[in-house]
Structure 1
């Protein structure tokens, strides 16, 4: 579900009351741990973390007017979603995350290619998310992105 909110503050006001605390804590975890150079902004109808054009002028290959996306978080109908392009594009990072997840949560890992779904707000493994966010710098993501993009050309 994409939001039509044009600011993060407006998006946060739309979050259902029962998940506001978990969503806020997840956002704070990301902001405290994401490496320098990433910026937070509304992106694709959710809270997004991007590499601005000032750092990566080429932008996103699907629409170069957009900055390069890296991660995002959204309040979906039945879950809180964390989208992390690094685990989609980097098999070693995905393997690490999948192996670490059971050490941090009793819940079964529910994920798609880049989407991690949290259906139980009180069981989000914030320490693991903090570590995941620290694992890829802006330079790492640009290198990974360009390597994966060039392979698909």
Structure 2
């Protein structure tokens, strides 16, 4: 399933996508589960660990991180930087120091229109910043608001 998905990625994004996926998998704390979700490689909290699942879509795992090869960019979705202002600030400051181009970012989505400046080491550090347990706690805190 994963191999077929990776094989169909546009040649322009393929190698960078694979490197990004490997970086995430080498640095993401234990417990997150990999799946395919809407043309994205997703990393979520399994229902066996967090039976409440995602409030927007009952009976689905709690999403945390995903990468998607789009037509014009590669996207990294990280719910931690969406939910934690301190983590967002940390990431923005570090990104500005290691990448010569402006950060192209939405609320949880980081976009690269060129593979030349993807900061793999920084993405690895970002992945290490929140454990599965910390993500559940942060999610529940934000949900209670």
Give the TM-score of the pair, scaled to structure 2: 0.97
- Answer yes or no: is 1:79 the counterpart of 2:73: yes
Q: 2:67 is paired with a residue of what secondary structure? A: strand
Provide the alpha-carbon RMSD of the alignment: 0.9
Aligned pairs for 1:7-26 within 5 A = 7-26=1-20
Who is 1:41 aligned against?
Answer: 35
Q: Deviations over 1:5-62 (max 9, x none)?
A: xx32222122111221111000000000000001111123310000001111111111
- Residue in structure 1 matching 2:64, options 55, 66, 70: 70
Rounded to whole Å, the distance in 2 between the matches of 1:24 and 1:102 is: 24
Q: How many residues get paired?
A: 145
Rounded to whole Å, the distance in 2 between the matches of 1:19 and 1:64 is: 32
Who is 1:132 aligned against?
Answer: 126
- Answer yes or no: is 1:59 the counterpart of 2:53: yes
- Answer yes or no: is 1:118 the counterpart of 2:118: no
Q: Deviations over 1:112-140 (max 9, x none)?
A: 00000011112100010000000000011
Rounded to whole Å, the distance in 2 between the matches of 1:53 and 1:10 is: 25
- Answer yes or no: is 1:109 the counterpart of 2:103: yes
Structure 1: tracts of 5 or more residues without a match: 1-6
- Answer yes or no: is 1:148 the counterpart of 2:142: yes
Who is 2:88 aligned against?
Answer: 94
Q: 1:112 is paired with a residue of what secondary structure? A: coil
